[in-house]
Structure 1
Amino acid sequence: MGKISVGITLLVLGFVDLFANSNRYDIKSGIVEYEIVGNIQSENGSRLNGTSKLYFKDFGILELVDEKVVQTNMGEKEEERTISKIVNNKMLTVDFNDEVIYSQSLALDEENPVQNIKNYESFVQMGAKNLGTENILGYKCDVWQLGEDKIWIHNSVPLKLITKSLGITQIQEAKFAVFNVDIKNDKFKLPAFPVKVIEEIIGQEGEYIPSGD
């Protein structure tokens, strides 16, 4: 599938804190389950469908996203699963194809700013347009337009995202969300795969080329 999904793994898996000394979320803990629907502009009319689960505690110091996406192309289906975990300023990404976990330090992704968790002030600084407020699952959200992307944010937690990139239109919307709840530690457990540090790979090879494409 070539890492085609660009949604909350998107928004959330690009999780980068714009302000290093501030909380990633304005809520202490939460569980959010999303539905993913997407269309790919091609002669075959490929489609994307999937789900994503977000768990976080301690205002985002600990966080995990588990995303499963199925791409349907001419009747054939290809499945892809991605898990990313954030602990303090480190992100761990599970590659199920190679059965390895990649570790890297978080840094601001200036090329994909919508993938950074944002609060109201940071959206304003980025030049995003505020479209008002809407309710999702009963939670009041600020709605922002940034280029062709739209995002619905509740206390810095994304509850809906519409992205358009590389011929892909994707909608990712929360179908379940609860906040300020106790979350068991097993929700943040990763597979027992070996860990490779991205910075070390870059230093050894000069250039890191992600696997799985």
Structure 2
Amino acid sequence: MGKIKYIFIFLLIGLVDLFAGNRYEIKSGIVEYEIAGNAEGTEKGDTISGTSKLYFKDFGNLELTDERIVQTIMGEKEEERTVSKIVNDKMLTADFNDEVIYSQKLVLDEENPIQNIKTYDSFIQMGAKNLGTEEILGYKCDIWQLGEDKIWVYKSVPLKQISQSLGIIQIQQAKFAVFNIDIKDDKFKLPPFPIKPIEEIIGDSEAEFPNISPEQEKMMNEMMKEPKK
């Protein structure tokens, strides 16, 4: 089995109204998640575990996610850390291996709508099914199903998600959440790495593989959409 990649990205990448309004229906918040997952049909019991912290203020126009993942792949453990920051319509993602920060403009992600802004109207537009409500940490959440994915949302802030991708079932659930509080600016700091536009990475890939097929090019571009790890 090929290397399992951690696909679950809890960044809320733009819907059509991303730049026309607020990303969240709450002014500010801190949410700490626990992550667990496993791969179906694997003999070695490949698993994923980890934590994620979400900080946001100004209704999500400023946001930072700090994610730490441990993957057990064919009996071997790998650790990954991803820190991503959103400022208005721009996302910055820190790569701790190469010690660089990749920047990109947020765009509509039609092929992975579960990552889009999670307002009630956006779920309806995506054709999601409302399954009712459930309390998580005392917050009343709407439960939505979109394909095989389920997500629990409190005022557009996700507090739980069950997703399936590449044979991996993953659960990310909030273990702590507090809203409408003052958050210090140091919570939104990135490491002091140089910043590099993501377009340069895509350009380098095209130069390195000038004869790739359209299907291969599409696959590479899809990979480039994901924050670098």
Pairwise same-fold verdict (TM > 0.5): yes
Bigger Cα Rg: 2
- What's the secondary structure of 1:199's corresponding residue? helix
Going from structure 1 to structure 2, the CA distance change for 1:31 and 1:78 (only over 3 Å counts) comes to: same
Map residues 110-125 of structure 1 onto 2, 5 A cutoff: 110-125=110-125
Q: Would the aligned equivalents of 1:98 and 1:212 in 2 still touch at CA under 8 Å?
A: no
Contact 2:47 2:72 in 1 (8 A): yes
Partners of 1:212 and 1:107 in 2: CA distance: 17
For residue 188 of structure 1, what is the aligned residue in structure 2? 188
Alignment partners' CA distance in 1, 2:115 and 2:171? 14
Residues 90 and 104 of structure 1 are in contact (CA less than 8 Å); yes or no, is this contact kept in structure 2?
yes
What does residue 104 of structure 2 align with? 104
The residue correspondences of 1:134-149 to structure 2 (distance < 5 A) are 134-149=134-149
Determine what percentage of the aligned residue pairs are the same residue. 68
Moved over 6 A (4+): none
- Counterpart residue number, 1:18: 16
Structure 1 residues 153-186: Cα deviation after superposition (integer angstroms, max 9, x where no partner):
0000000000011000000000000000000000
Q: What letter is aligned with 1:6? A: I
**Given that residues 26 and 155 in structure 1 are in contact (C-alpha distance below 8 angstroms), is that contact kept between their aligned partners in structure 2?**
yes
Q: Return the TM-score normalized by structure 2.
A: 0.85
Cα separation, partners in 2 of 1:175 and 1:103, compared to 1, 3 Å: same
d(CA) in 2 for partners of 1:76, 1:206: 32
2:15–2:109 contact (8 Å) kept in structure 1:
no
Residue deviations 1:122-164 (CA, integer Å, cap 9, x gap): 1011110000000000000000000000000000000000001
Alignment of 1:73-112 (within 5 A): 73-112=73-112
Relative to the length of structure 1, the TM-score reads: 0.91
Structure 2 residues not aligned, in runs of 5+: 208-220
Name the aligned partner's letter for residue 5 of structure 2: I
What is the number of residues matched between the two proteins? 210
CA distance in 1, matches of 2:4, 2:198: 18
Number of the residue aligned with 1:4: 5
One-letter identity of the residue aligned with 2:60: G
- 8 Å CA contact 1:6–1:170 kept in 2: the answer is no
Corresponding residue for 1:29?
28
RMSD over equivalenced CA pairs, Å? 2.1
1:82 counterpart SS class: strand
Do the aligned residues in 2 keep the contact of 1:18 with 1:118 (CA within 8 Å)?
A: no
C-alpha offsets along residues 6-57 of structure 1, whole Å, 9 cap, x if unaligned?
33xx2x3252243020100000000000000000122211011000000000
- Return the letter of the residue paired with 1:112: N
Long gaps (5+) in structure 1: none
